[in-house]
């Protein structure tokens, strides 16, 4: 089955800096890649997603890039703010099989 690896497990940046989180997936049939943000004890919230027919997608300070050949995708957060502090999960999904396979999460801490 699909396996998603996520790095780093923890990331500490200064406010205003950029943060990058990377994921690799194993199943070349995966075609949908969402990113979720989860604050402590709360539900995962979708922040951005990308499909396999697109190489990059941006939404204000957040962007996601996808390299299908290398089977990896990355989340980029620019001008980080303290409220960006949370755990971020990447995930991969195949069109025919509908479960999301999640990465192990990245604890992002934005320091003042």
Partner 1 sequence: DSGVTQTPKHLITATGQRVTLRCSPRSGDLSVYWYQQSLDQGLQFLIQYYNGEERAKGNILERFSAQQFPDLHSELNLSSLELGDSALYFCASSVGGGAETQYFGPGTRLLVL
Give me the residues that bind partner 1 (CB under 8 A), please: 31-32, 34, 36, 41-46, 49, 51, 89, 93-105
CB of 20 to partner 1, least distance (A): 20
Please say whether the beta carbons of 24 and 112 come within 8 A.
no
CA distances in angstroms from 102 to 2, 19, 90, 92, 106, listed in the order given? 9, 20, 6, 7, 11
C-beta closer to partner 1: residue 36 or 110: 36
CB of 76 to partner 1, least distance (A): 20
CB of 95 to partner 1, least distance (A): 5
Cα distance between residue 94 and residue 89, in whole Å:
17
CA distances in angstroms from 19 to 22, 67, 85, listed in the order given? 10, 18, 11
C-beta closer to partner 1: residue 32 or 78: 32
C-beta closer to partner 1: residue 38 or 78: 38
């Amino acid at each position: 089955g699909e396996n998603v690896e996520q790095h780093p497990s923890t990331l500490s940046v200064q406010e205003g800096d950029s943060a990058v989180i990377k994921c690799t997936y194993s199943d070349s049939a995966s075609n949908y890649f969402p990113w979720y943000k989860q604050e402590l004890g709360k539900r995962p919230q979708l922040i951005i997603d990308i499909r396999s027919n697109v190489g990059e997608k941006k939404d204000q300070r957040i962007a996601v890039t996808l390299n299908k050949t290398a089977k990896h995708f990355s989340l980029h957060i620019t001008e980080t703010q303290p409220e960006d502090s949370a755990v971020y999960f990447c995930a991969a999904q195949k069109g025919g099989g509908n479960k999301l396979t999640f990465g192990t999460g990245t604890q992002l801490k934005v320091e003042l």
